[in-house]
Structure formats: C-alpha cells, structure tokens
A and B are shown apart, each in its own frame.
Chain A
Amino acid sequence: MNEYVVEMKGIVKTFGEVQAVKQGEFTLRKGEIHSLIGENGAGKSTMMKLLYGMYPTNRGEILIKGQVMENLTPKLAIEHGVGMVHQEFMLVNELTVLENIILGFEPRKGLKIDFEKARKEVTHYIEQYDMEVQLDKKVSQISVGEAQRVEIIKTLMRGADIIILDEPTAVLTPQEARRLFEILDNLKKDQKSLVFISHKLNEVMEISDRISVMRQGIHMGTVNKEETSPLDLTKRMIGREVFLNIDKAYGKAGKTILEVRDVWVSSQKETSKIRGMSLAVKEGEIVGIAGIDGNGQSELAEAITGLRKVEKGTVLLNGQDITNLKPRAVREAGLAHIPEDRNTRGLNRAMTIEENLVAVRLDQPPFTNKHLLNKASHDTYAAEMISQFDIRPTDYRLPTSSLSGGNAQKVVVAREVSMNKKLLIASQPTRGVDVGAIELIRNTLEQAKKQGAGILLISAELEEIISLSDRIVVVHEGKITGEMPASEANENNLGLLMMGGHDKTGEISEKGKAGEHTV
C-alpha cells in the first residue's frame, strides 16, 4: 500500500478536435490539501472530472487507493470514496436542500423517503464540521456560500474521504471564503484528502500542503508550499512564450476617446462584479487591462460594448454618452469589438466566412442596396480581407466551422479592424491561436494604433500586455488595483497587483472598505 490515495499517470483527454489534457499527472496523499492551479483552459477541471468518472480517458491510468480503475463512472468513483464539488453547482433549484443532499442515495422506508433518518445524518455532519445549512429551504433561496456547503455535505454523505473542489471560491465573497477554509481545515483534521482547484494564488498559498501547476494541458510540476511563492507560481502558470518582436512606437496619444466613469456592472460570480471602476483611453494609445481571467474584465468589455447592463456610472465614447445603448448604436458611435469568445460571439459558426466578414456593416451600402444583398460586393470584400489577413482556406464560401482557431480569429480581427473605428476593444485577441496568427494579429493592433485608434486591450497573457500596451491598468475582483506606464511594468509588480496587492502609492484596495457581509 503506497502513500497515495489517488494517482493519475500519463493522462490524455480529447474532446473532438480539442486536446484538453495532453499530459496529465497528479497524486494525492492522505490527509493533505493539494491545490491544482493553472489558467483557464489549462486542463485542471478536466483532470478532476476524469477522476470523478464523468468522462473516459483517451489514455492513461487512474488509481484510487492503490486500485486501478477501469471504466470509471461517477457511481463507481463515489463508491471508492471520491466526491466532487463542481464549479457550477449540481443542485436542483426547485428542490429543498435536504432533497438535494440525499438525491440518488435516499434513505428509504419502503417506497417512501425516510426524511427523519436523512435529517439525522445530515445534522451530524453539520455539527461535526461546523457547517450551517437550512435543510428545508429551496436551493433557489439560499446564498451561494450555503449552496457550496450543501455540495460538500453531499460528498460527505456518500462516504467521500477524497473531496475535489473545483474553483470553490470563484463565487464566494471574501467572508464566505474564510468560512470555507475553516471547514476545509476541519475536514483535513479528520484525515480527509482534498483537491483544491483554483487560480487564486493567495488562497492557494494559504491553505495548501502541496501545489501542482498545469499549463495548456500539461503538468508543469508539483511543489511543497514552503518551497514556492506566488510569483514563482505565476511564472509556472503563465509561462514565457516566444517574445515576439513588435515594432512598438511610443507614439503621441491624442484626445480621450473612451471614458469609463465609476461603473457598476452585474455578474453571475461575486468576484467579477464591477463596483466602481474608472479608466480612460486616448486616441493612438493602447491601454492594457492586466488581470487573471474572471476578475471583471469580461464584464467590463461587455458593459462598454452594450452587451451587459451598466447599473451605475457612465461610459463616454468621444464625448458621447453611450451608457447602456444597444450594441448597434455603440458601434455606430465609433466602436469595434474583438470579443473574447469567438465561437459564441465573434463568429456565427454555421455561416460562411464571407457572411461573417460582412456581418456588422451588412445594412450599409455597398453590402446592401435598398434591402437587397449585393452579393458581388460581399465577394470582393471577402477576397480582399482573406488576402490581406492571410486567412486559410481561401474559399470564402466555406463555413467558418471548418477554420482553425487562428484563422477563425483572423476573420474576426479582419472584420473589426478594417472598419477603422476610433475605438477598438480587443478581448483576449490571441487566445487559442497559433504563433503565426498571433504575430499577425498583434501587428494589426499596432498598425491600428499608429493610424490613430484608441485600443483597450484585455488579456490574461502578461507578456502580451507588456509588449503591446502603452499604459497598463491592473484589475482584481472588479476593482482597479493599480496603473502604470508599460515601461515600468514587469511580471513582478503586475503579478502582485493582479493578486489584489497594493500598488506603489500605498492605496489600499477597496476590499477592506466594504460593509458587513452576511454569509
């Protein structure tokens, strides 16, 4: 019997054409808290879903408590003591907390559910680990922190002694996160083994015994907490890519083209709700928003472009108030937008390359004349874009679903940039894109800037932010934690601000000022 309760060796997992895990390795010791960290798309969630039996592996071996697992299913994993608390809670809103906890493992009295017995068992766990839950409320009525505790109790009720938590604090307020850590501590004291998936380095440093890093589907190493630091982990997570040579001109910035004044924006997750953010972008300038994905950047881009409601505050484009205007009106005011999700937003995968290229300006001549589509003009334009941006394959009548990530992104970039708008919002413009396309896209942005556009660049790639931006703004949990010219920026000071630290002027982040939180 070895020391590990879980071993995952040589794991490969593919979904269609996407390789979510290229080389997965993971071990878990009894009674430890082991954090699995990495950026979005690094493969950490997938690794654990494989452990929980939600999908079969393409290659590799999984051992639970020394036993090799063939044909893992959730039921089998549960039988071997594995429990999982998912990022999206697997709770049925219209059922009560108690009903959700016992689902699938209901104690019976004949055909009836023995609610009394269920209640007794659950109360035992509530008391043992000090978790407060209201058993008779519907899930739709309880707080997020409470819902998470319900998920944990679910795993305990099924006899889990190996518990996986997938980004548990993503949806919690700081107070609720504290409560969670106390509970995790209690569980650990009781010899439960915990896997903590996260990208929040400060928390990971606080509670872990060991930390494993994944990047782009590959296991990058496992360290003991004492042997590492947040900055060391940041480097392993983000990595150094090929430092592409961009001919950056520190040009003269013109007048202010975008002004965001004290905006408050809603979000499904607590940590990405924007509460009072202000910034400005000038013509001929690239302002980079640095921050780990999920801290309000997506919401900011959507709020500016009219895709999400601005609850308080104003957004001004070239002096014009565009707050909460429909996307069409915002675009007409002078905005172009490269969205972070090219598959849902940026492109209509079911339609052709040509149709996607003309999508935004469809109503205008020459693309449409008096409501009739002018096909010939579409053809000419598409051919031009394809050659200018080196899009392959070159047949514009093909559906975009057949394009690779890089080429698909080039279609989006081509469309948005060639409209020559004064303001360009570029959100994760090179995510999931091959090196050649990355270079082309970054050069395109640089060109646009030289021609006088103001660009708001949002990227989780620090290196991209540093190399392209003139000024850098760092966000953390919906607030700006610091600003600096790119010339002063490096991975260290940016990384610190990305994790919510203070900037050089000693300004405390807004977190501490918020009022009492009920959990």
Chain B
Amino acid sequence: MSTIMENIDKIFNMSLIYATFRSATPIIFAALCAAITQQANIINIGTEGIMLVGAFTAVSVSYFTGSWILGVIAAMLAGAMIAMIMAVGHIRYNSEICAIGMGINMLAIAITKFLLKAVFDTNGGFSSPEIDPIPRVHLVFLNNVPIIKDLLNDWSITEWFAIVLIVILQFFFYKTVWGLRLRAVGQFPEAAKTAGIKVNAVKYQAMLISGLIGGLAGAHLSLGYSTQFIENMTNNRGFMGVAAMYFGGANPVLTAVGCLLFGFSDSVGARLQAYGIPSQFVLMMPYLVTVTVLSISMIAKLSANTKRQSALNVN
C-alpha cells in the first residue's frame, strides 16, 4: 500500500486523464447508441454487434477507397442496417429484444470473421498502410500551454465529435419536439398514443439513429483509436456502453460520466496492476456501482409509491 502512496504521482497524472478519455470514447459512442433506444424503452443489447460491423465496414471501405470519410459513412450506414434488422424483428415480429440483440452480436462476430477471410484472405486481423485513418487535430496554439497541451492536443476528429454528440443528444432529448415524443413513447406509450403520436414510427426512428451512432462507434474504434481491424475488437465495449447507459439512466451527460468511470477504471486498473492490486477489482467496480444505482432508484420509487397510497397519509 505504501508503495502506491509513494508513487501516487506516477499513477494519477495527466497521462491518466488523457488515457481515461481515450479509452472512454468508444464506450461513450456505444453508450449513446444504447441511450437513444433506451429512451424509447428498448434495450439495445446488440450495440456490441453494431459496433463490430461498423468497425469492419470502416476499415474495408477506407482501404478500398483510400478515404476515411467514406469509411465512416459506410460504417454508419452498415450500423443502421443492422439496427433496422433488430427493429423490424422486435417491433413488427415481436422478438424478445435481448434474444435478437444477442443474435445480432453473434451474427456480427461470425460475419466479420467470414468476410475477413473472404475479402482480405486473412485470419485474426487486418492491417495495411493503405487504410486511411481518421486524422488527428493538432492545435498549434496549444503547443505552449502547460498541462492542457498534454490533455487536449492530438485528439482524433471522432474524439472531439464524441463530446459534440453528447451535447447534441442532450439538447435533442430534452429540448426538441422529437426528443419529447421519444421519451413519452418510452415511458408511457399509451399516453403518447392518445396524444396522437405514432408510437411505432418513433421506435423505428430511434433504432435507426442508434444504428448510425453504433456504426460510428465502430468506425472510431478501427480508424480512430487504432488503424486496423482485429477479430472481436470491440472486446465487450458495446456491453460496457450499455452498462454505462444504465448508470446514467439514459441521460447523455450522466451516461458520459458513467463512461468516464468505466474508462477510468480501465486505465487505472492497468496501472495499479504494477503495484499489486489486481486490475480485475478495479474493472468490476463500475458494474457493481451500476447495480447499486439501479437498486437504489427502484427502492426510492417503491417507497414513494407506498407513501402515496397509504391510508395514514391524510395530507
């Protein structure tokens, strides 16, 4: 323990913050992907699969066209397509959302592996200098600013966009017409129906946008965070996104906080490993916290309900 205290500045320093944010970004995209559908009361368990498909599509298209922009767009469209399969299955054909979501995840793993062989004739992963990565933004004026220069410089475009997306969605959910209807559909579809809203149309729209974001998440992973495609490279980050979404109650800002929590534990975990604390303990913390948060909020709801129904409550 004392070694940790002595070396605390080696563990908790600027580069940790930077590492936290970098590892949190893919999770942030995944979490936002899940958050949109959650507002409509649909658990997007297939986030992992959408991300993986997006990652593969981004690398392939970027490789063959030499353009990261086309790669990203293709990834988003691919993500949207996958999401629509889930949407049709769940909304039209009454699929259990967890079942079809996990089916999609399986499909993603299988089909990316298959295409990896079929298109690139390799196994395990694909990398090439001809893949056009997402460029990094180098802000020259920050070169001489202490602290911030380590923190904010050389972020890839998608990392900046993640922050923009959080703000956009926060605005979207709580200040726009569509956002209000989305939340109403998710919380009380009958009420939305009596207000004249087309409930299913809203759900389809939510899934579509979720797919776009999920595809973007994958593109960031394979063209921004790294420049390659590795089998199963999402590595559960899609699920982490879903967990972070639960932590934040599908509110974009709170969800992002949750993602930072997950990203933080990821980075700190690796560092604390050197001092004898197993990384797994730190890694499991955010999950335990989320379970606790969920439980506490339900307990609070229940007790408020009991109070309201009580005959002793002569207000």
B312: interface (CB < 8 Å)? yes
Q: Chain B interface secondary structure, helix, strand, loop or mixed?
A: helix
**Closest CB in chain B relative to A43 CB, distance in Å:** 20
User: Is B310 a contact partner of A90 (Cβ separation < 8 A)?
Assistant: no
User: Is B180 a contact partner of A266 (Cβ separation < 8 A)?
Assistant: no
**Closest CB in chain B relative to A257 CB, distance in Å:** 25
User: Is A94 a contact partner of B183 (Cβ separation < 8 A)?
Assistant: yes
B7: interface (CB < 8 Å)? no
Which residues of chain A come closer than 8 Å to B194, judged between CB atoms?
A: 52, 54, 74, 84, 86, 90
User: Most A CB atoms within 10 A — which of B175, B178, B192, B194?
Assistant: B194
**Which residue of chain A lies nearest to B307 when distances are taken between CB atoms in the complex?**
A266
Which residues of chain A come closer than 8 Å to B178, judged between CB atoms?
A: 111
User: Is B311 a contact partner of A275 (Cβ separation < 8 A)?
Assistant: yes
**CA of A86 to CA of B306 in the docked complex: distance in angstroms?**
23
Which residues of chain B come closer than 8 Å to A268, judged between CB atoms?
A: 309
With beta carbons under 8 angstroms apart, the residue of B177, B197, B311 that contacts A266 is: B311
User: Is B311 a contact partner of A264 (Cβ separation < 8 A)?
Assistant: yes
Within 8 A of B (CB), among A200-216: none
**Closest CB in chain A relative to B83 CB, distance in Å:** 22
Which residues of chain A come closer than 8 Å to B196, judged between CB atoms?
A: 73-75, 78, 104-105
With beta carbons under 8 angstroms apart, the residue of A78, A90, A95, A275 that contacts B180 is: A95
A93: interface (CB < 8 Å)? yes
With beta carbons under 8 angstroms apart, the residue of B177, B193, B315 that contacts A108 is: B177
Which residues of chain B come closer than 8 Å to A265, judged between CB atoms?
A: 311
User: Most B CB atoms within 10 A — which of A103, A111, A518?
Assistant: A103
Which residues of chain A come closer than 8 Å to B183, judged between CB atoms?
A: 92, 94-95
User: Is A92 a contact partner of B188 (Cβ separation < 8 A)?
Assistant: yes
Which residues of chain A come closer than 8 Å to B176, judged between CB atoms?
A: 111-113
**CA of A312 to CA of B311 in the docked complex: distance in angstroms?**
9
Within 8 A of A (CB), among B270-315: 304, 306, 309-312, 314-315
A503: interface (CB < 8 Å)? no
**Closest CB in chain A relative to B300 CB, distance in Å:** 11
B106: interface (CB < 8 Å)? no
**CA of A102 to CA of B180 in the docked complex: distance in angstroms?**
9
**CA of A267 to CA of B183 in the docked complex: distance in angstroms?**
29
Which residues of chain B come closer than 8 Å to A84, judged between CB atoms?
A: 194
User: Is B187 a contact partner of A95 (Cβ separation < 8 A)?
Assistant: yes
Known: A92-B191, A112-B176. A264 touches B184 (CB 8 A): no
User: Is B184 a contact partner of A103 (Cβ separation < 8 A)?
Assistant: yes
Contact with A along B212-234 (1 / 0, CB 8 A): 00000000000000000000000
B181: interface (CB < 8 Å)? yes
**CA of A140 to CA of B303 in the docked complex: distance in angstroms?**
13
Within 8 A of B (CB), among A500-519: 514-515, 517-518
**Closest CB in chain A relative to B202 CB, distance in Å:** 11
B190: interface (CB < 8 Å)? yes
User: Is A267 a contact partner of B311 (Cβ separation < 8 A)?
Assistant: yes
A side interface size, CB within 8 A: 42
Contact with B along A62-106 (1 / 0, CB 8 A): 000000000001110010000010100011111100011011111
Known: A113-B177, A266-B306. A105 touches B195 (CB 8 A): yes
**Which residue of chain B lies nearest to A86 when distances are taken between CB atoms in the complex?**
B194
**Which residue of chain B lies nearest to A276 when distances are taken between CB atoms in the complex?**
B311
User: Is B181 a contact partner of A103 (Cβ separation < 8 A)?
Assistant: yes
Which residues of chain A come closer than 8 Å to B315, judged between CB atoms?
A: 143, 517-518
**CA of A311 to CA of B315 in the docked complex: distance in angstroms?**
16
With beta carbons under 8 angstroms apart, the residue of A75, A92, A111, A274 that contacts B184 is: A92
**CA of A54 to CA of B191 in the docked complex: distance in angstroms?**
12
User: Is A113 a contact partner of B180 (Cβ separation < 8 A)?
Assistant: yes
**Which residue of chain A lies nearest to B179 when distances are taken between CB atoms in the complex?**
A113
User: Is B314 a contact partner of A514 (Cβ separation < 8 A)?
Assistant: yes
A273: interface (CB < 8 Å)? yes
Known: A95-B187, A106-B180, A113-B175. A274 touches B195 (CB 8 A): no
A38: interface (CB < 8 Å)? no
**CA of A274 to CA of B187 in the docked complex: distance in angstroms?**
31
User: Is A103 a contact partner of B191 (Cβ separation < 8 A)?
Assistant: yes
**Which residue of chain B lies nearest to A111 when distances are taken between CB atoms in the complex?**
B176
With beta carbons under 8 angstroms apart, the residue of B180, B190, B304, B306 that contacts A103 is: B180
With beta carbons under 8 angstroms apart, the residue of B180, B197, B304, B311 that contacts A99 is: B180
**CA of A78 to CA of B192 in the docked complex: distance in angstroms?**
14
User: Is B195 a contact partner of A273 (Cβ separation < 8 A)?
Assistant: no
Known: A112-B175, A514-B314, A515-B314. A90 touches B195 (CB 8 A): yes
**CA of A162 to CA of B6 in the docked complex: distance in angstroms?**
76
**CA of A273 to CA of B310 in the docked complex: distance in angstroms?**
8
**Closest CB in chain A relative to B310 CB, distance in Å:** 5
* A–B Cβ pairs within 8 angstroms, 24 of them: A74-B193, A90-B190, A90-B194, A91-B188, A92-B191, A93-B187, A93-B188, A95-B180, A95-B184, A95-B187, A100-B191, A103-B191, A105-B196, A111-B177, A112-B176, A112-B177, A264-B311, A265-B311, A266-B306, A273-B309, A273-B311, A274-B311, A311-B311, A518-B315
Q: Interface on B for A, CB 8 Å cutoff?
A: 175-178, 180-181, 183-184, 187-188, 190-197, 304, 306, 309-312, 314-315
Nearest first, the 8 A-B pairs at minimum CB distance are A104-B195, A90-B191, A75-B196, A273-B311, A266-B309, A264-B311, A106-B177, A92-B188
